[in-house]
Structure 1
Amino acid sequence: MTLTRAKLVNLTPSASRFVKLAAACAVVAVLAACGSSKPSPASLESLSAPALRLTTAWSQRVGSVDGQLNLAVSNGVVTTASTDGDIVSFDIATGKERWRAQAHADLSAVVGSDGRYAAVVTQANELLAFDQGKLLWRERLPGRVITAPLVAGERVFVQAVDRSVRAYDVLDGRWLWQYQRPGGEPLALATSGVITAFRDTLLVGQGARLVGLDPLKGSVRFDVNVGTPRGTNEVERLADLVGPLARVDDEACVRAFQLSVACMELNRGSLRWTRPQAGRQAVAANERMVVGSDGADRLSAWKAENGDLLWRVDRFTYRNLSAPAIWGNRVVVGDYDGYLHVLASEDGRTLARTELDSALVAAPVVVDQTLLVVTRKGTLYALRAN
């Protein structure tokens, strides 16, 4: 049985109806009992002569991250943040600081930015918007937020853990609209969900469905069912989409928690293919392939055109892999020990490995030839391959 670690959030007041997960036993997939022995992580393979050399173009320390983080990249700028409220924007080419802000509060959702405007949510459920480091406004939200806000088109879009989506004017904080798909599940996955833009459409995850919204009105343009979860209780049927969504031109691929990996055609709002895989991390994709790991950290690659399996490797089982990224003709993924593994995209063999100061807390991001990764200790690395 594949085990997947996750945290859950109750969306109804009758908490006694649902399974409660203690911090020492937050394990679901098809439920496993607390106290069962934990599998041993796979030992690292010997790599005496790496086929690739990684160099650090620059690195910057922002502050530690307790939870999840989104690296916001736009117009040659990357914006990151720490849990205790530091928000910093850097030039991707040089690592030079562009601007810095302080929220003066611990953060629960970080960080969304279009390069100029940035938005975060505090643990007290306040949405804060900044213009190049200057605080513009703050607004109290009706519920908890874990997913980083999306800043686009002079609007801020926020998705709460109850899957409701709210839109605000980035200039003055004026509330514009709210959307929530009726008939949602009573439990939600306490992890970063899907909220992103495709041309003039806002894409949001609603359980196991990807919904396309009009960003001006909040009305539905399309609704794609990624899969139908089966189970005897609410936990087993939980299948929220896990962010970030992997965009490739007019197509996108996504993970449905403990259910499947799927790719969609966004212009028509239709499902192209889906493959069963019980996992908890987002997938990566380009025009040739899709990559993702299951709950036991077996890494698989599929053909982007039809979902046929290209390769699967089990060298990293139970090493608590991060979301992967595709970096040219390479696949990169981090593990719980702070190692970053670089694999060949054609067959999954290991090309290089480097040790960072701690584990990754955000999906790696590729900009041109530069790989951006951020660790739990709050170090942002810009890496290049030689």
Structure 2
Amino acid sequence: MKLTRLLLPLGLTATLLAGCAGGVEPQYPPKELKDFPATVELDERWSQDIGEGLGRAQYPLTPLVDGGTIYAVDQTGDLRAIDTDSGDTQWEVELGTPISSGIGADPGRLYLGTRNGEVLAVDRTDGSIAWRSRVSSEVLAPPQVNSQLVIAQSVDGAVTALDRADGQEKWVYSSSMPALTLRGTGTPRTIDPVTFAGFANGRLVTLDNRSGQPLWDMRVAVPQGRTEVDQLVDLDGQPVLTRDGRLFVTSYNGRLVALEATSGKVLWERKESSYLTPLVVGNYLFTVNAASHVLAIEADSGRVMWDADTLEGRWLTSPAFVDGNIAVGDYQGYVHLLDATTGEMSGRVHVSGSGLTLPLLTGDKRLYVYANDGRLVAYDLKTVEP
């Protein structure tokens, strides 16, 4: 299969496209990796093989780390709870349905989306299914929760609110969809009063969680160019909300914007194409653009602090922060560490020849990596002595 981010014509499933060669030709050929003096070593602590992994379609089955347990699922529905220190399996269940999303959670349950358009609520203690609810189409984004609702965004542009207790539908918001989109959907950001949701039409909408009615919406990216491919403006990354009420949003072929969350007022913006979720650490915003440059940006002003092009064209994952480093995975299955202060390479390890497409998960000086073929590995970070 070509090195592409697959496209999803409206009405086709990701499975149908999994083996095809269609998509966007890589504009940036992947750079060869070069040796560097490592300052951080990635020491494998444990590993497990999680069933069939992401499958041929590379479903975005991002695991969840919480309270000393990592929860991981494969595309067939093999769900496991694993101790983060030892790597021992605490419990394992077969859900009996193909899974297509990453894992959302509240203190008592896990929430997963399926290929046949369902949301499952699963008990965290034993993996039993508490309820299952039908939504309008396949769910690729991990369901999000607040104190009362489970919010699921499906590939047809609908956002559905379900009652957290029993899965009953509370409201549905539907957006218009272009004829061609990136394979994937935005992941909503949900808090008690509102849900922030980005769509393939380039719009960001703030929904009132009481009714599903939009409070405000704005166009983050405007379609340009002659072809449908040129006009892709998907908001596939998850909006990032800070405690002081700022919202950071990326878009493909569009902008990186900082907004006032209550009103949608633009605080700053810069032209930057990205389909990945950015990361806020202190007053720094880290993002990976469509060329696979890793950027550090001053969150208050939008000023670029550094722009690392060392990994250009290597189809990086979303950035993660661990012990002073930015961690990303690439299409050849390498994990790369960059010093968060300077952008210089600090460490590297090869995980799997199947490649890495999911965000890396972090703990205290620890990194969890789920490869496309289902290999789940925990690495401890250790400083290299000079």
Normalising by structure 1, report the TM-score: 0.84
What percentage of residue pairs aligned between the two structures are identical? 27
Check conservation: 2:234, 2:275, Cα contact below 8 A. Answer: no
| Aligned residue in 1 for 2:137 | 143
1:384/1:253 CA distance change after superposition, 3 Å: farther
C-alpha distance after superposition, 1:188-212 (max 9, x if no partner):
3321412122353222113323222
Letter paired with 1:366: T
Long gaps (5+) in structure 2: none
Check conservation: 1:159, 1:165, Cα contact below 8 A. Answer: yes
1:158 to 152, 159, 162: 152
Q: d(CA) in 1 for partners of 2:261 and 2:65?
A: 22
Q: d(CA) in 2 for partners of 1:171 and 1:280?
A: 33
Q: d(CA) in 1 for partners of 2:237 and 2:144?
A: 12
| Aligned residue in 2 for 1:16 | none
Where in structure 2 are the equivalents of 1:279-358 lying within 5 Å?
Answer: 279-357=274-352, 358=354
Check conservation: 2:237, 2:251, Cα contact below 8 A. Answer: no
1:244/1:91 CA distance change after superposition, 3 Å: farther
Q: d(CA) in 2 for partners of 1:89 and 1:380?
A: 12
Check conservation: 2:329, 2:357, Cα contact below 8 A. Answer: no
Alpha-carbon deviation of 1:159?
0.8
2:366 to 340, 365, 370: 370
Q: d(CA) in 1 for partners of 2:182 and 2:357?
A: 17
Q: d(CA) in 2 for partners of 1:198 and 1:362?
A: 24
Q: d(CA) in 2 for partners of 1:193 and 1:57?
A: 33
Check conservation: 1:9, 1:161, Cα contact below 8 A. Answer: no
Q: d(CA) in 2 for partners of 1:300 and 1:168?
A: 37
Q: d(CA) in 1 for partners of 2:142 and 2:224?
A: 29
| Aligned residue in 2 for 1:255 | 250
Alpha-carbon deviation of 1:168?
1.4
C-alpha distance after superposition, 1:98-151 (max 9, x if no partner):
443322122222322224312223322233221221112333333232222224
Q: d(CA) in 1 for partners of 2:180 and 2:93?
A: 34
C-alpha distance after superposition, 1:321-361 (max 9, x if no partner):
11111224211111111111111112211111111124223
Letter paired with 1:373: V
1:55/1:270 CA distance change after superposition, 3 Å: farther
C-alpha distance after superposition, 1:169-200 (max 9, x if no partner):
2332211110124x554443321412122353
Residue 104 in structure 1 maps to residue 96 in structure 2:
yes
SS in 2 for 1:53: strand
Q: d(CA) in 1 for partners of 2:19 and 2:77?
A: 28
| Aligned residue in 2 for 1:204 | 197
More strand by share: 1
Check conservation: 2:146, 2:192, Cα contact below 8 A. Answer: no
Check conservation: 1:54, 1:354, Cα contact below 8 A. Answer: yes
Aligned residues: 368
1:62 to 34, 50, 57: 50
Q: d(CA) in 2 for partners of 1:195 and 1:155?
A: 13
1:69/1:11 CA distance change after superposition, 3 Å: same
1:169/1:100 CA distance change after superposition, 3 Å: farther
Alpha-carbon deviation of 1:73?
4.1
Alpha-carbon deviation of 1:253?
2.2
Q: d(CA) in 2 for partners of 1:278 and 1:351?
A: 26
Long gaps (5+) in structure 1: 14-19
Letter paired with 1:190: R
C-alpha distance after superposition, 1:28-49 (max 9, x if no partner):
xxxx6xxxx98642121113x4
2:23 to 3, 26, 42: 26
Q: d(CA) in 1 for partners of 2:149 and 2:215?
A: 19
Alpha-carbon RMSD: 2.9
Alpha-carbon deviation of 1:167?
1.3
2:188 to 195, 203, 207: 195
Check conservation: 2:316, 2:357, Cα contact below 8 A. Answer: no
Letter paired with 1:241: L
SS in 2 for 1:161: coil
1:258/1:328 CA distance change after superposition, 3 Å: farther
Q: d(CA) in 2 for partners of 1:149 and 1:50?
A: 38
